[in-house]
Structure 1
Amino acid sequence: MSDWHSWAAIVIFTATYTLIISEKVHRVAAALGGAALMLAIGATNDVSAFYLQDRGIDWNVIFLLMGMMMIVGVLKKTGMFEYLAIWSVKKAKARPFRVMAMLIVITAAASALLDNVTTVLLVVPVTLLVCERLALPSAPFLIAEVLASNVGGIATLVGDPPNIIIASRAGLTFNDFLLHLAPLSALLIVVLVALCRFMFRRTFVYDEKRATEIMTLEEREAIRNPRLLVQGLIVLALVIAGFVLHPVLHYEPSVVALLGAGLLIAVSTVETGEVLAEVEWPTLAFFAGLFIMIGGLIDTGVIGEVSKTLADAMGGAEQSAAMLLLGGSAALSGVVDNIPYVATMAPVTEQLVKDFGGGSDHVLWWSLAIGAGLGGNATAIGASANVVVLGIAERNRRPITFWQFTKYGLVVTAVTIALSMGYVWLRYFTFSS
């Protein structure tokens, strides 16, 4: 890492990250500016930035987001989210904490079947309406859902994009993830609900008047376009089936989402321009800039050097290696998006597994998946779902600041990582046969 490009890339990334944290410059402008500087100094180039998925813009992520945003945009016109908002509040008896707990569980369960970004795109509109109806601040509810989406996402192969990378490299199946990580995910969701009860305790103010008004509402009256709702739900069901059947169909989630969006526009009467207006273009631009910046760190060898240092620090003990890989992955994934991080660490982990003679029941791979998935909760830009929710909140004039998210994310990450270390230690080293 003696090349000046490496140090320049570190300076640019650090400066950009500082601007994002300080919020003195809009995060989209900061990310695109940082990306431009990476290209200008030659830390990366057009080929890496635009054509190489493992070190540039991950177009699968961009187009997955765009496709799902278009589908959600159509569903918003049907009144479906108003229906779900009224239904969920009535089921929870309009009690704020019960509402939050219900949304956390729903988000986590959906994130295990869909990817976590798709889940928050579907749940956030409902949440905003719930908070409006109950006159509650939306930020605590949105933050809780993002945290739940990342915790729920580790449970299955399709729940979080890094899991797909790990499964491909390690030869793991959907059932492997379900057997090894779903129990941990379920435990951590229970813990998350308890943490939210404490962290957001001042939010749970019960307004009897508003609660009474909502309990008298008829949710079916919220549906404005039944035909469009049926069309939208059929397409959404097909898209979800496409996600789940990825191992059989071999269609990338981005392709499935775009096919679904195109089909929905084709069969419905909604204008294409109206649908495109629902896309969070600033969020997509932010992701593009972030991917290019991280690509600069990869191309100049910075991330590779960090990964090698981490590998060297592991020594020869598999238990120490698993703990360090889990904790180190969590720390780095809070700063660097977990997709390129896992893409970089996967070959390092593969070599470590070989060095340990195959490893104990893929424990190093599980450590990488857990650390990268849960570490994304640490900061507002640690995972794709975080960025998407902040973008939607800003668009709806209910902005969530970097530190407002991060002060809660750090607490949840610290607790969940500590419990995960205990889980890995007990399951794979204490009680393993």
Structure 2
Amino acid sequence: MLTVAIFSVAYLGIALGKIPGLVIDRVGVALLGAIAMVVCGVVTLEGAVQAIHLPTILLLYSLMIISAQLRLGGFYTRVALLIVPFYARPRIFLGILMGVSAVLSAVLANDIVCFAFTPVLAVSLVKAKLDPLPFLIGLAVSSNIGSAATIIGNPQNMLIGQTGYLDFMAFFFWCAPPSLLALVAGYAIILWMYWTGFQCGDRKGFLDDPLDGRKVPGPLFDRWQTAKGGIAVVILVGLFFTGIPREYSAICIAGVLLCSRKMKTRDIMGLVDWHLITLFCALFIIIHGMADSGYLEWAMVRLSDMGMHLSHLPVLAGISTLLSNLFSNVPAAMLLISFLDPAEPVQWYTLAVSSTFAGNLFLLGSIANLIVVEQASIHGIRISFLRHAAVGAPVTLVSLVILWAWFAII
């Protein structure tokens, strides 16, 4: 029962994003849960170390370094500035924004894309007297959807791909079609929601108006440093189609990028999301302790007795969606992967796509959503839970319908 108590408190804290009375976030809650598993003897120290899936951590860490190279080289800011002039035709601009965001998220991870694009969009759109909300929500929605298409698009996909030993190309060919259709549907829904226009109205979505005279934020564009990052991405994706383990390829490319005469290692490492890496490590330990107790297997047996088998893809997608919005998609994916059949890659693809699509439902479903909200608030724009859900809920519903239709086609 001690194991269940630790697991329940940890996952409840992750769901709430805090522990009442303490100034602590999801990462802190997960870390405390992992510590409790070890200190209380549920998991040995050696068992805790072995529970951490090092290939996934290495891949995640390496891709963060590669993304840091591009960010410091001003790549993301430059791309954002290149598409901003299209705001004279808002509907076309929204489509370009969502398309670019989806493609970049599929290759360079959605969190980084949202972090880099949001400040540029916030400043530029307000100065153009356009309502930034549909565009910023569109950025979050498209980055989530686009990231579902590849193994390296988001943290949960990296975990699923590494744990399931999934083929990069096979993953893409299965996951890309529903992602593309969901992206088109998301664009259409936002256009329908804002059919009256994209101009600023009464500015109720703004905290204040501090933007006059402010320069567009972001690192200055450096052609050479951006080229280095771009070459690294192309080589890395090419290596993913070979038999070399993905984590070996990624850490090698990351190591080469650290050998720089201009960019300090401290600057690059400073952009690594250590909080996310810590969250992964802590969750590995918590779930390992719970798995050893046998309670997770008992819960799955009970679900099976009620006719809800994870081998049935719509059931898996539904449970994934529910858990992703209760605990966020990374913890949800970690909970479910141990019950997937290694011989049935379609189950793994389904978990990857459904948990990612589910991130659009509510603000707390995806880290990318929170990044957009937090970055927008710095620039005087408030995206409320309800404003996001008004778009996110129908986008998620339609995306899941597309996924279920995809089950029938394949």
Q: Aligned-pair distance for 1:205?
A: 0.5
Does the aligned pair in 2 maintain the 1:32–1:290 contact within 8 Å? no
1:106 is aligned to 100
Opposite residue 355 of structure 2, the aligned amino acid is A
- What is the CA–CA distance in structure 2 between the aligned matches of 1:143 and 1:257, rounded to whole Å? 33
2:5 is aligned to 7
1:412 is aligned to 395
Please provide the CA RMSD for this pair. Answer: 4.2
Residue 373 (structure 1) aligned with residue 356 (structure 2): yes
Does the aligned pair in 1 maintain the 2:7–2:286 contact within 8 Å? yes
1:331 to 316, 322, 326: 322
Residue 296 (structure 1) aligned with residue 286 (structure 2): yes
2:175 to 181, 199, 206: 181
Distance 1:308 1:68, change over 3 A: farther
Does the aligned pair in 2 maintain the 1:81–1:125 contact within 8 Å? no
Q: Aligned-pair distance for 1:311?
A: 4.7
Q: Percent identity?
A: 19
Opposite residue 144 of structure 1, the aligned amino acid is G
Distance 1:99 1:316, change over 3 A: closer
Distance 1:5 1:74, change over 3 A: same
1:88 is aligned to 83
Distance 1:61 1:118, change over 3 A: farther
Opposite residue 167 of structure 2, the aligned amino acid is T
Does the aligned pair in 1 maintain the 2:27–2:279 contact within 8 Å? yes
Q: In the comparison of the two structures, how many residue pairs are matched? A: 387
1:210 is aligned to none
Task: Name the TM-score, length of structure 1 as normaliser.
Answer: 0.71
- What is the CA–CA distance in structure 2 between the aligned matches of 1:237 and 1:109, rounded to whole Å? 17
Cα distance per residue 1:283-324 (max 9 Å; x no partner): 642662475257425522465554454455446896xx1211
Does the aligned pair in 2 maintain the 1:375–1:382 contact within 8 Å? yes
Task: Name the TM-score, length of structure 2 as normaliser.
Answer: 0.74
- What is the CA–CA distance in structure 1 between the aligned matches of 2:142 and 2:19, rounded to whole Å? 23
Q: Aligned-pair distance for 1:48?
A: 6.0
Does the aligned pair in 1 maintain the 2:329–2:355 contact within 8 Å? yes
Which segments of 5 or more consecutive residues in structure 1 lack a partner in the other structure? Answer: 208-221, 429-433
Does the aligned pair in 1 maintain the 2:15–2:327 contact within 8 Å? no
Does the aligned pair in 2 maintain the 1:311–1:348 contact within 8 Å? no
Opposite residue 171 of structure 2, the aligned amino acid is F
Q: Aligned-pair distance for 1:32?
A: 1.0
- What is the CA–CA distance in structure 2 between the aligned matches of 1:311 and 1:343, rounded to whole Å? 19
Opposite residue 233 of structure 2, the aligned amino acid is V
Deviates more, 1:152-161 or 1:179-188: 152-161
Q: Aligned-pair distance for 1:102?
A: 1.1
Does the aligned pair in 1 maintain the 2:130–2:200 contact within 8 Å? no
Distance 1:276 1:190, change over 3 A: same
Does the aligned pair in 2 maintain the 1:39–1:45 contact within 8 Å? no
Q: Aligned-pair distance for 1:387?
A: 4.7
Does the aligned pair in 1 maintain the 2:10–2:33 contact within 8 Å? yes
Does the aligned pair in 2 maintain the 1:139–1:400 contact within 8 Å? yes
3-state SS in 2 of match to 1:156 = coil
1:350 to 341, 344, 358: 341
3-state SS in 2 of match to 1:149 = helix
3-state SS in 1 of match to 2:150 = coil
Cα distance per residue 1:309-357 (max 9 Å; x no partner): 4455446896xx1211121122222334444544553442217x6xxxx
1:259 to 255, 258, 276: 255
1:214 is aligned to none
Cα distance per residue 1:163-202 (max 9 Å; x no partner): 4555566665333234333222211111000112234557
1:32 to 5, 28, 33: 28
3-state SS in 1 of match to 2:326 = coil
Residue 53 (structure 1) aligned with residue 52 (structure 2): yes
- What is the CA–CA distance in structure 1 between the aligned matches of 2:188 and 2:366, rounded to whole Å? 22
Question: Which runs of structure 2 are paired with 1:163-242 in the superposition (5 Å)?
Answer: 163=157, 166=160, 172-200=166-194, 204-205=198-199, 228-242=222-236
Opposite residue 52 of structure 2, the aligned amino acid is Q
- What is the CA–CA distance in structure 2 between the aligned matches of 1:47 and 1:401, rounded to whole Å? 44
2:206 is aligned to none
3-state SS in 1 of match to 2:360 = coil
Distance 1:384 1:305, change over 3 A: farther
- What is the CA–CA distance in structure 2 between the aligned matches of 1:178 and 1:271, rounded to whole Å? 35
Opposite residue 360 of structure 2, the aligned amino acid is N
Q: Aligned-pair distance for 1:10?
A: 1.0
- What is the CA–CA distance in structure 2 between the aligned matches of 1:373 and 1:273, rounded to whole Å? 32
1:212 is aligned to none
